[in-house]
Structure 1
Amino acid sequence: MLKVLVGSWALFLGMFMLMVGNGLQGTLLGIRGGLENFSTFHMSIIMSAYFLGFLGGSRLAPEMIRRVGHVRVFAALGSTVSAVLILYPVLIEVWAWTLGRVVIGFCFSGVYVTAESWLNNAATNENRGKSLSVYMLAQMSGIVVAQGILSIGDVGGFVLFIIPSVLVSLAFAPILLSVSPTPTFETTRPMSIHNLVKTSPFASVGMFLLGGVFAAQFGMTAVYGTQAGLSVGQISLLVSVIYIAALTAQYPIGWASDRMDRRILIIGVATLGGVGALLSAMSGGDYYIILIGAAIVGGTSNPLYALYIAYANDFLEHEDMPAASAGFIFINGVGAIMGPILLGYVMGVFGEAYFWVVVALLMLAMAAYGLVRILQRPSDTAVEDQVSYSPVMASASPVAMGVAQEIYIETDLEDQAAEAQ
């Protein structure tokens, strides 16, 4: 692990600073929108816009990199993010914030693609898994630190918009000054949605529903907290708990994933997440119960992303895994775009507590569909034939997904070689 840190410290530091900026602006807008009297539905449109831009960036950024190179794309997208962050408090209009979120989502997606291709280029077969784990830790840590900064700032002023702008600008210095600018870069066309659903309907449906849950956590938690009358500090802690639980739960769930029927585990994890969301919904406004429920949701929803990828890989040939992962990014992205809009409508009609009700329904729908699939297809891949689990965030770009797939394939080939001996 130390060797990984020494070899790619600049990249990890830069991504940490970028995620502080991204995590800060996401929660800040949710709170500031309430202060500016934006309706819940308007805020849902604004939050959904990020995922629309992110999905577009994941599709277009690779072509931009091939045309003009990593450094130019990285610098151009970073400067655009910095500029938009400054414009938010200047143009306090729904249309301006919506457009800004589309642009920032697009830019961050492109930044992730660029940075992760550098990471993949620097990694070796021996340390690729550790590199991905440290990268994920840097991302999660950045989001959590952002909430701490938010809790001590003035959400009604300009400073909290300036801080992420500065951090994003500074984040590029260690990366551009120390990382090789010319890694090899290849992308894979996504598998058609029809073939993907046909190959693994369980994973495909689960990915779509999970997109809505992920968007709720990243985009609408602050909106919910504002509507519920929580203080800025309470909202910051709520968001932090979700991501800390997500990071903590990845590895025990991954350990279990390699030792039991994945469908059973997915059903159990999704059910637990649904129960956690219902716990928050029925808390009666008790903040500590809400925190417990949020931790359960965060600790189950994020590992589910990697579980669905691992489950689908059990039915795929090695050469089809990258194409399938690209297709799953698209399916998950569509769900993430629709999730905030659904939440905004429901919260506007029935009240903020229904934020958790919608999350619970999405999680329980995953579990219910898993039971349906077991009834339709009782036999499944034997535990010893399953590919190994690899942790990956739901916000992963096609490159990070490619790195995870390389780990799946390498581990699977090693297991096959060991069995042959």
Structure 2
Amino acid sequence: MENSAYKPYKNSTFVPVAGLSFFAIASGFLMSLIPLSLASFGMDSSLVAWLASIFYLGILVGTTCIQNIVAKVGHRFSLILFLAMLTLTIVAMLVIPTATVWLIARFIAGFAVAGVFVVVESWLLMADSAKQRAKRLGLYMTSLYGGSALGQLAIGPLGVNGNTPFYWVIGLLMLAILPPLLVKKGQPESMEHQKISLREVKKISLPAVIGCLVSGMLLGPIYGLMPSYINGQFASNERTAFLMAIIILGGMLVQPLVSYLSTRISKSLLMALFCLLGTIGIVGIADGTSVSFVTTCYFLLGASCFALYPIAITLACETMALEKIVAATELMLLSYSVGSVFGPVIAEHSSTSAHSLITYLAVVLTTTSIYMLIKSLQNTRSGHTPAIG
């Protein structure tokens, strides 16, 4: 082990996973609530793409300084701080419901969410073996996507009009604060979190960086624009909530398979196969007429898009020392957030067609699948072992 002071048995998964679960339910509900509630607050629907992009811009900015905050106050207090910051942004949106305030609030919310992701991911990834990291990341992704799927289903019973749905989001975030607030043991041992040098950045697998970038390019539009696209298809808030939940459920249920396969076959090949699966799902969404068939295709789309990030981040962290895990997760989140910032705007303005979103998703998935397949073949020919592809 690189750090003899590090004691993995003290690094509990309960606090980050419990807090993350409530956060994910709130976040999943909020992601669909914001674009669907604009009309009730007298704001134009054209604001949707900008709200999505500025949120991910906040994540991008957050990735540049989260490490310093974690180093100063520790994982537990950092998690409390970022969850409280996110809660206050929602309060501000309700107190002053104008486009300018919402854009500023969503930027700050992105910063806070970046903090939550870096804290929880690094908390769980500070383990003493690649196998344990894969299992913990699978638990993280399952909690995140399971909670997000459950949050989507709240659209039906709670609605999208007025302040009441936002009060529920605030309540869920306050519940998310309780585990790190009340449980004072279990956070990673204090250590000096080191930055990654330029030489080490160059050694990080390029498919890992591209995988995180593409994950953002896919999930940014899915979270920010897909609710409006589905609502345009079916003109039903309940159907929109159901299909968004199906997308995220696909992402949740695929995580055990991702954990199993990521230590057995080339990660580049694995990302190529999931991107191909997503392309198949997109074709079915565009051409399908049966409701059950289209639902299955949305499930496949979610499984493919949500699989990329955990594969990419485990690939990036495989050779990292424990004291550099926070910096590595920051770098990967930075790649993800760059894709998330530009993804919604590109998807929204790439075409005047009503199907511009799924056309964009199909192009990104297909080109990424081809790239990852080429990298996998190159690694095989150069003699790299499949597990680190």
Match of 2:3 in 1: none
* Aligned twin of 1:271: 276
Q: For the Cα contact (< 8 Å) 1:213–1:336, is it kept in 2?
A: yes
CA–CA distance in structure 1, aligned partners of residues 277 and 322 of structure 2: 34
SS in 2 for 1:152: helix
Cα separation, 1, equivalents of 2:179 and 2:206: 43
After superposition, the Cα gap between the structure-2 partners of 1:128 and 1:114, relative to the gap in structure 1 and judged at 3 Å, is same
Asked if 1:334 is matched to 2:334, the reply is no
Match of 1:400 in 2: none
**2:312 pairs with one of 308, 313, 318:** 308
Partners of 1:128 and 1:378 lie apart in 2 by 24
**TM-score between both structures, scaled by the size of structure 1:** 0.76
Question: What is the aligned counterpart of 1:22 among 18, 27, 39?
Answer: 27
Q: TM-score, normalising length from structure 2?
A: 0.82
1:187 aligns with 2:190: no
Task: For residues 21-49 of structure 1, give each alpha carbon's deviation from its aligned partner in whole angstroms, at most 9, with x where no partner exists.
Answer: 11111110021135557555421110112
CA distance in 2, matches of 1:132, 1:262: 15
Residue 346 of structure 2 is aligned to residue 345 of structure 1: no
Look up the equivalent residue of 1:365 and give its one-letter code: T
Deviates more, 1:159-168 or 1:92-101: 92-101
Give the residue type in structure 2 aligned to 1:364: T
Distance in 1 between the 2:191 and 2:349 partners?
Answer: 41
Distance 2:283 2:44 in 1: 25
1:361 corresponds to: 363
- In structure 2, the CA distance between the partners of 1:41 and 1:278, relative to structure 1 (3 Å rule), is farther
Contact 1:26 1:218 in 2 (8 A): yes
Q: Is 2:299 the counterpart of 1:298? A: no
In the TM superposition, residue 113 of structure 1 has moved relative to its aligned partner by 3.7
2:227 counterpart of 1:233: no
1:353-381 residue CA offsets vs partner (Å, 9 max, x unmatched)? 22111111100010122355467676144
- Using a 3 Å threshold, how does the CA distance of structure 1 residues 344 and 97 change in structure 2: closer, same or farther? farther
What SS is found at the alignment partner of 1:303?
Answer: helix
Structure 1: runs of 5 or more not aligned = 389-421
Between the aligned partners of 1:30 and 1:302, the Cα distance in structure 2 is: 21
Secondary structure in 1 matching 2:65: helix
What is the SS of the residue equivalent to 2:161? coil
**Residues 337 and 173 (structure 1 numbering): CA distance in 2 closer, same or farther, change over 3 Å?**
same
1:277-309, CA deviations, whole angstroms, 9 ceiling, x for partnerless residues?
12212336x544432222111111222223334
Change (3 A) 1:375 1:17: closer
User: Structure 1 CA distance, aligned partners of 2:64 and 2:107?
Assistant: 14
Within 2, Cα distance between the matches of 1:377 and 1:124?
A: 26
Q: Following the alignment from structure 1 to structure 2, what is the Cα–Cα distance between the partners of residues 280 and 120?
A: 36
CA distance in 2, matches of 1:362, 1:330: 19
> Retained in 2: the 8 A contact 1:204–1:328?
yes
Cα distance between partner residues in 2 of 1:131 and 1:377: 27
| 1:69-80 matches, cutoff 5 A | 73-80=78-85
Map 1:97-136; keep pairs closer than 5 Å.
Answer: 97-115=102-120, 130-136=135-141
Per-residue deviation, 1:176 = 1.0
- The 5 Å alignment of 1:276-295 reads 276-283=281-288, 287-295=291-299
Structure 2 residue identity aligned to 1:330: L
Matched residue, 1:386: 387
Contact persistence 2:66–2:115 (CA under 8 A): yes
Quote the residue 2:86 is aligned against. 81
Matching residue of 1:214: 219
Are the aligned partners of 1:117 and 1:185 in contact in 2 as well (CA < 8 Å)?
no
Q: List per-residue Cα deviations over 1:152-196 (Å, max 9, x = no partner).
A: 11211211000111121232223211123784154342454x975
Match for residue 412 of structure 1?
A: none
- Residue 364 of structure 2 aligns with an amino acid whose one-letter code is L
3-state SS of paired residue (1:350)? coil
Contact 2:90 2:166 in 1 (8 A): yes
Query: Structure 2: any 5+ residue segments left out of the alignment?
Result: 1-8
1: distance between equivalents of 2:132 and 2:211? Answer: 30
* Cα-Cα RMSD: 3.5
Structure 1 residue 219, shift from structure 2 partner? 2.4
1:191–1:308: structure 2 CA closer, same or farther, 3 Å change rule?
farther
Q: Secondary structure at the match of 2:336?
A: helix
Cα offset, 1:346, TM superposition = 3.4
Structure 2 distance, partners of 1:217, 1:245, is: 13
